[in-house]
Amino acid sequence: MMEPGSDEGGRGGRNFLLAMLLLTIFGIFLVLAKDDVDRGLERAGGVWAIEESSLPGWFPRPYEGSISSLAQIPSRVSLQSVRWKSQVVEELERNPWISSVQEVIRTPAGIGFSGQFVRPSVGIRSQKGWLLIDGTGRVIDRQPGDYLADSWKIPEYLPQGGSQQQKMLAEASSGELLVGAEFEELLALLSVLWEDQVFDRVPGFLHEISSLLVDGDQRLWYLHSTAGIRLHWGRSPAYPGAKVATSQQKLECLRQVIELRDDLARSVDIEGISLYSGSEPITVQGQ
């Protein structure tokens, strides 16, 4: 014998399950329908552009290499989709120039975003142009051509290795880490200079860094200035042996040179200046 109300309870349970099934089917339909909309909008989404104000001041224009793909992101996402923000973030974070994304907004003029960009520390010459390297030695991108663009406001470096090194640099791709004592010493020197904001305080003044092997495996480092005078840095901070002066002492001498840069530019008889010969920079001849 059934308990009173048991049939109603069964019907209520069946009705509940039926309602849940309908909701589930409806939800799947919405997802599938939205995906169809997404695909349709992707084909017609190229009218948008990332706003120039989203990019840092040192970002060059026009775009080349992986930089140019940033401007193509809006055409690869569905800007009327409820998922458009997450799609833009995914596209941005796949780009080697983007370290992190904090916010993405849609404006009447296009798409704007705030985030951390990976700034190059140096341009390294290779057979296929210039490798743009970050402070860890990782390849961000490649700039074609014989000359490194001034807009980067970074120094250039011509590596001293042989054909094997040149082959490695020619084949290097975004994300690859440059290894070896030469690059380790270069990056350690760059770290000191960037931390002192030398390249931002006097953009372009130090336009090139070079090195010279002495005594077999020891390397001396030089900073080339727009005054046409080579600044002798000496051993890199990464050099394991004894050094004549500390990095801070050399930086203090470099600061004095920077203050006198206009006078030095008018000098015609100064070949080089040592940054490691005491508390003040001194003029030198030769190496």
Residue 186 in any domain: the answer is yes
Q: Is the pLDDT of residue 22 over 50?
A: no
Mean of pLDDT over the chain: 81
Read off the pLDDT band of 20 (50, 70, 90): very low
Residue 1 in any domain: the answer is no
In the chain, % helix, strand, coil (3-state, to 5) comes to: 40, 25, 40
Could you please report the per-residue DSSP string of 80-132?
TSTTHHHHHHHHHHTSTTEEEEEEEEEETTEEEEEEEE----EEEEETTEEEE
Q: Is the pLDDT of residue 51 over 50?
A: yes
Residues 65, 89: one domain? yes
DSSP state of 234: E
Number of domains in the chain: 2
Residues 112, 129: one domain? no
For residues 181-188, give the mean pLDDT.
96
Residue 147 in any domain: the answer is yes
Position 58 scores a pLDDT of: 81
Question: Can you say whether the dihedral through the CA atoms of 147, 149, 177, 73 is positive or negative?
Answer: negative
Residue 220 in any domain: the answer is yes
Residues 159, 258: one domain? yes
Read off the pLDDT band of 84 (50, 70, 90): confident
Domain boundary residue, one of 58, 85, 118: 118
Residues 55, 145: one domain? no
Contact 134, 120 (CB under 8 A): yes
Residues 55, 181: one domain? no
Q: Which residues contact 275 (CB under 8 A, 6 or more apart)?
A: 223, 231, 232, 233, 234, 245, 250, 253, 254, 257, 281
Position 172 scores a pLDDT of: 92
Residues 126, 101: one domain? no
Residue 167 in any domain: the answer is yes
Q: How far apart are CA 193 and CA 125, in angstroms?
A: 20
Domain boundary residue, one of 85, 118, 151: 118
CATH code at position 201: 3.40.50
Burial 90-125 (b: 16+ CB within 10 A, else e): ebbeebbbbeebeebeeeeebbebebebbbbbbbbb
Sheet holding 206-214, edge to edge: 139-143, 129-133, 122-126, 156-157, 206-214, 218-225, 230-234, 272-274, 282-284
Domain boundary residue, one of 59, 87, 118: 118
Q: Is the pLDDT of residue 206 over 70?
A: yes
- Token code pair at residue 84: 């458009």
Greater pLDDT, 7 or 174: 174
For residues 179-207, give the mean pLDDT.
95
Residue 264, amino acid: L
Q: Is the pLDDT of residue 242 over 50?
A: yes
Residues 104, 157: one domain? no
Position 63 scores a pLDDT of: 62
Residues 97, 36: one domain? yes
3-state secondary structure of 143: strand
Domain that includes residue 82, residue range: 12-118
Residues 72, 186: one domain? no
Greater pLDDT, 52 or 58: 58
- Least Cα distance to 207 among 156, 250, 134 occurs for 156
Position 286 scores a pLDDT of: 64
Residues 85, 139: one domain? no
pTM of the model as a whole = 0.77
- Least Cα distance to 285 among 229, 243, 206, 216 occurs for 229
Residues 210, 244: one domain? yes
Residues 84, 152: one domain? no
Q: Is the pLDDT of residue 85 over 70?
A: yes
